[in-house]
């Protein structure tokens, strides 16, 4: 599975990609994680290519994603056309009011920012999206995903671990 996550720097795009990569790796799959960000970092554009596969991965760069997670309008506009037919485009509809133009992909509109903020989890819309990504694709086992969150939250931010897990669970339930 080729996943492309994209948004503004500071939205946790690279972190979310790392969680997904760890989830796949902890399930014994082949993974790659390739961050890309503009020189501005926070506030600039950021995207992250994640590959999770049973087979060796030829290139870590995702140019034709099976899943696109667009956390802002510029990312949707730039990458929507690259998603494979039959793929998934997930949009944070709290921020992006435009609709997916393509009819040959599954469009998912998730108000991740609002869901996170309404739950007292400001800044964790990325993890709400990660939960929905899992619910839609089952790219790894649930236990591996949760362990991926635990492995990704740095020691200096351990107080954020429970909030990250809660945000993932909110995203998982959003598809029910």
Tell me the domain boundaries of the chain.
2-173
Closest CA to 3 of 143, 161, 132: 132
pLDDT for 37 equals 74
Helix (H) or strand (E) holding 142: helix 142-152
Q: Give, for all 176 residues of the chain, the pLDDT tens digit.
A: 999 999 998 899 999 999 999 999 999 999 999 998 766 555 667 999 999 999 999 999 999 999 999 999 999 999 999 999 999 999 999 999 999 999 999 999 999 999 999 999 999 999 999 999 999 999 999 999 999 999 999 999 999 999 999 999 999 999 76
CA gap 174, 69 in Å, rounded: 15
Q: How far is CA 54 from CA 45, 62, 85, 115, 139, in A?
A: 30, 16, 21, 33, 11
Closest CA to 129 of 144, 147, 106, 108: 108
The pair phi, psi for residue 50, each rounded to 5°, is: -130, 130
pLDDT for 175 equals 73
pLDDT for 43 equals 61
pLDDT for 110 equals 98
pTM of the model: 0.94
pLDDT for 9 equals 85
- Class of domain 2-173 as given by CATH: alpha beta
């Amino acid at each position: 599975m080729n996943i492309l996550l994209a948004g503004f720097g500071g939205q946790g795009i690279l972190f979310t990609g790392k969680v997904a990569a760890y989830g796949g790796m902890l399930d014994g799959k082949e993974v790659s994680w390739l961050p890309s960000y503009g020189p501005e970092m926070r506030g600039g554009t950021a995207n992250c290519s994640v590959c999770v596969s049973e087979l060796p991965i030829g290139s870590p760069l995702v140019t034709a994603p099976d899943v696109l997670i667009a956390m802002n309008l510029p990312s949707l506009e730039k990458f929507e056309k690259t998603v494979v037919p039959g793929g998934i485009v997930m949009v944070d509809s709290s921020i992006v009011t435009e609709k997916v133009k393509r009819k040959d992909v599954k469009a998912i509109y998730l108000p991740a920012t609002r869901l996170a903020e309404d739950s007292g989890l400001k800044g964790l819309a990325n993890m709400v999206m990660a939960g929905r990504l899992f619910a839609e694709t089952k790219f790894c086992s649930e236990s591996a995903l949760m362990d991926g969150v635990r492995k990704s939250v740095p020691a200096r931010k351990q107080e954020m671990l429970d909030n990250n897990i809660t945000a993932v669970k909110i995203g998982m339930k959003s598809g029910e």
